Amino acid sequence: MIKHLFTFLFVMISFFASAQEAVSSPQMADTFRQEGKIYVVISVIGIIFLAIVCFLIFIERKLKKLEKEVNHELHK
């Protein structure tokens, strides 16, 4: 049974890998680049990435503060 599962898995992986070769270049990216909109797309992606990083830093600081409070309460 496991052999059949692995065989099916490898066949599906090779199928999806061969499907990737059908497109020579991303047409949407070329269109955005020609119209000058690629910079807007990259800017939006960058802003979203920075927002996620800032949110994670904020959460990390809060977590450290809570850990210190819990450790302080436990050692009393």
Distance CA 37, CA 41 (A): 7
Spatial neighbors of 32 by CB under 8 A, at least 6 apart, are: 38, 41
Q: Tell whether pTM > 0.75.
A: no
pLDDT in tens, 26-41: 677 778 778 888 888 8
pLDDT of residue 26: 67
Q: pLDDT grade, residue 50 (50/70/90)?
A: very high
Q: Is the pLDDT of residue 21 over 60?
A: no
